Structures are given as C-alpha cells and as structure tokens.
Amino acid sequence: MSRPDHSTIAAEEENISSYVDSCVNLESYFSIALSAEVIKEMVDNLSSRPCGLVLGHKEDVLRVLKENILTEEKYADDVKEFEESGAAGDSAVRVGPVLVGVVAAAASRHNCAARPDCISKIVKSIGGKAKLDPFPVLYVTPLSETITALAVANGVARGSVKGKFESKSGLAQKQYFKSGSDIKLAFVEDPLSAEERVVLTSTMHAINLVKRLVDTPTNLLDTVTFAEIASKWCAKWNGKDGREVHIDIVKGDELRQQGYGGLWGTGKAAQYPPHLVTLSYKPSAAVLPDSTKARKAAFVGKGIVYDSGGLSIKSGAGMCGMKHDMGGAAGVFGAFLALVESHTPALVSCVLCLADNAVGPKSQRNDDIILMKSGITVEVNNTDAEGRLVLSDGVYHASAELAYTPDLVVDMATLTGAQGIATGLNHAAIYSNTQAAEDAFQRSGRQSGDLCFPVLYCPEYHKKEFDSKVADYRNSVTNRGNAQVSCAAQFVGNNIPDSYKNHWVHVDMAYPVTADGIGTGFGVSLLVDVVTKKLNSL
C-alpha cells in the first residue's frame, strides 16, 4: 500500500513515516508489577522526590503509607498532615517524598466503583513531576467485583501523558513521543494471575494508541495512513506464538465495484480514497485447541477521518474537532489489538470503515439514491448523516461476509450529537437487539470504566422515521424529537440481514470519545471486558 505520488512533499512523507512507526511501537510504556516490587522501589528511592504515586481511598492510602512506605519517624508530621487534610481531589498531593492521589469512594449505581475518571485526572496532574522511569504507581484499595483492576488500569492509561500526540514549536519533525516516564502499576492486594497481568498491559497499550489516533490531525492520519498502521500491526503479530492475524483491504473504486455504496459514496470526493479494512485474529492451537467451538466476535468502527459534513456542510466552528470522528474505528481497532496481544482464546474480527467526508467535484449530493451492500436503497437527504452509511456497509460485511457467523457483532461510532443529550458526557449509548447483550454491556461498562447506558430499543417506532417516497429509506430522520440515538442506530441495524440471528450491539460514544477535547481511549476496556468476561455466556 503506497500513498499517491502527489500526497505530500518529501519532508512531510518522512514525518508521516515517523508517525506510523511511532503508532506501531508502543508496548514499553506500561507494565504490571507485584506490589512488593513497587513498594521496595518507592522505599529505596525516598530521596528522589517523588518516589512514586500511591492511589486509592484515603483510609487505604493512609494505612499503606504508615505501614509500608513512610515508616521512619522523620515522616510522621507529613503523614499526620495528610491524615488531617480533606478527602478526594483531582490532583496528586505530596506527602513527604511520595505523591498521593485520593480516589473518591462514592459511586452511584450507574457509575464505575473504581472511579477511573478520578484516577485519570490524578495521574494526568503529575505531568513532569515524575522523575523516575518507569514511575511506580501503587493502587492500594482492595479489588472486588466492582472495583476491578481493569478499571484502575483504564484510568491510569487515560491519564498518562507518555505517547500523547503533541506538535508544538520546535517539534516539527518526529514529535510523536511526548516526554515523560513509563508507568509501572501494582495493586497492593494482588490476586492477579500472569494471564490477567498480560491483559491489563495489553489494554493499557491499546488505550494509549487510541488516544493518540483520536488526537492526530487528518493531515497526518488520513485513510491511507490509518490503513498502513493497521497493516503494520498485523504484520507484527501474525505468526507470533502461533497467532494468525490477517488483513484484507478494499479501497477506492473497488468499493463501488463490490457494492459498498455507503462507504464509497461518503468518501469518494476526498483526496485519499475510502477504505474497508478487515482484520481477523485466530489464536494458536495451544490457546484454542478446537476453533470450531470458539466464541466469535466482530467489531465494526466508524472511521470518518474528517467530517466537513459534505455538501450539507458544517459551520466553521462546527468542523473544529471533527478529526475525532474516527473515534469508533480507533476504539475497536485498539480493542482488537489488546485481544491479539493478550492471546485471547476467541475468534475476533475488526472492520474499519475509513473515509473522509469531504467536499469536491465528486461529492455525494442530497437527493442521490445509493445502493448499500445489504441491497437496501437509500435516498440521501443529509450528507452530514454519513456515519450511518459507512457503518451500514460495515455491519453487513461483519454479519454476512466473514468466514464465520459471529456470536456478537458490535459497531462503535461517534454517531450522533443527541448521544450527549440521551446519556451524557461520560456514558456511551448502547442499542441492542437482545436483552442479554444489553445487560452484558452495561455490566462491562461499570466494571471496565468505559461507561455505557441503554437507549430505547423499539424498531417499529424508529424505522418509519426514514420513510422515503423513492427509495427504501432516507438517511436522516423526519422528526428530530423522536429518539434520535435509537433511530440512527436502527438505520444501521436495518442493514443486518434477517439470516443473522445472534447478538448485535450499537455503541454511540460521540461524547465519551474525548474529555476536554483530548482523546480518552474509550472503547478498548469495554470490548476487552465483553470478550474476555461476557462473551462465553451470551
């Protein structure tokens, strides 16, 4: 796969090459250690100031400081001052030579008890204060069914600045590795197996990559670059310890020729062509002796690398931040990589629907009628409702064209502005054809820290919003007051063939994809938990 000759000048090509390489080499940023090792490192480095970060509920932090780390009499006043201070905050505070982060103990029934939102803010507040590399982080509140290691790791990875995309003055070339320390995370009451530690580190690596992808501007992360990153990742892992990791790419005119009208129409006007990228993973025979009995999952991600709105063009202010419109594709890609790296005993596929919704001579128009891969015809009445078009081709491909029929199909997208109204800034909206999958995702959200909440599933009320006099459907609703998130999800679901009888979940994460305009890595922990903890029971 090569970029068109006219793409960029040589210096920019070198910059893009450096960016791609940086996205394929992230594994060293995080590690999971034993608590005794991390405590010893902190004690041995008390003169370093800070010697590490202790995280957890205040009473647990205080206990570990007194009993394990700041045991010398000279630290008694520091510990007493902390003991008499206020409760949780969003920043790490210094207690003698130790940084301390007090995590809120309160969490409502729709929140994650581990409070990764608090953890990420505390870790982020450390910034350049971390002098040791790797920097020791010790989580001291006992783990449980609700306070999980995965949610804690999620919060730490979200808050880490290592590997963050940033381009400021003096960093014009190869600016992609943010300065900062690696993180060595441990849990003071450590019930984790070696396999669980691998899952945690793999998930943290993937969250870090997803954050970077979401924050990257489109002049670096176009459809060609995204596909190149995916291709290099597959080459890196295929054959490793018996894994089979393969990639198939359909792009440009090939999409039109093969009938992917939604993806082709959305991206055909852009400088770089739309891509349908399909990744597949099969574990080794040692991990999965009988693949015929394996559980199977397929992820589909909306990968609009930039959304101008097309001819239904957004305002200038409305376009700012539209580089984030590939957050769904980034999230499912990251989850796929985490499952591959941790050698999960399941068959997993990942479909990336990559396009730039640009304006040009070949732009799709309102009033165009397009033929979707599912055979459905769609009258375009809003070119800025493009995400559902690319996803529709993707979910048909995932549910009808893979080498196997998945037990679970998940599509993930920054699909609607209405998602924030329906479920807020922190909870993704989920829409599922089965109660079992809906319940599983809601539980996984609370246990992984990637929160989600169900919206109304009532297709008989939603389908009619897309009635057209000249096609099977229009692509935008008639009544914006009628459950927009559910309607948009159902448009995607209309393209799943009747022959598919298994679970389907739509995840609209338009708002959780970022926090304060910066990528969160949302989606990785959620899907890792679903596949590793819930898939077998669906």
User: 């948009």: which residue's tokens?
Assistant: 488
Strand-pairing partners, residue 515, are: 518
Length of the chain: 538
Residues 6+ apart with CB under 8 A from 415: 302, 328, 387, 388, 391, 485, 488, 489, 508, 510
In one letter, which amino acid is 145? E
Q: CA-to-CA distance for 23 and 225, rounded, in angstroms?
A: 11
206-243: buried (b, 16+ CB within 10 Å) or exposed (e) per residue?
bbbbbbbbbbbebebbbbbbbbbbbbbbbebbeeeeeb
**Which pair of structure tokens corresponds to residue 312?**
């239904």
Q: Tell me the Ramachandran region of residue 160: left when phi exceeds 0, alpha when psi lies from -120 to 50, beta otherwise.
A: beta
* Residues with catalytic function: 314, 388
124-128 contact pairs (CB < 8 A, 24+): 124/158, 124/159, 124/160, 124/161, 125/90, 125/91, 125/92, 126/50, 126/53, 126/92, 126/99, 127/161, 127/180, 128/179, 128/180
Strand-pairing partners, residue 452, are: 428
Nearest to 118 by CA among 64, 57, 168: 57
Nearest to 368 by CA among 386, 393, 356, 354: 386
DSSP string, 330-363: HHHHHHHHHHHHTT-SSEEEEEEEEEEE--STT-
Q: Tell me the Ramachandran region of residue 65: left when phi exceeds 0, alpha when psi lies from -120 to 50, beta otherwise.
A: alpha
Cβ(234)–Cβ(247) below 8 Å: yes
Q: Is 112 helix (H, G, I), strand (E, B) or coil?
A: coil
Q: CA-to-CA distance for 157 and 248, rounded, in angstroms?
A: 30
Radius of gyration (Cα) for the chain, nearest Å? Answer: 23
Cβ(144)–Cβ(10) below 8 Å: no
What is the biggest distance separating any 2 CA atoms in the chain, rounded to whole angstroms? 82
Cis peptide before 134 (omega within 30 of 0): yes
Exposed / middle / buried, residue 47 (Cβ in 10 Å: 0-12, 13-18, 19+): exposed
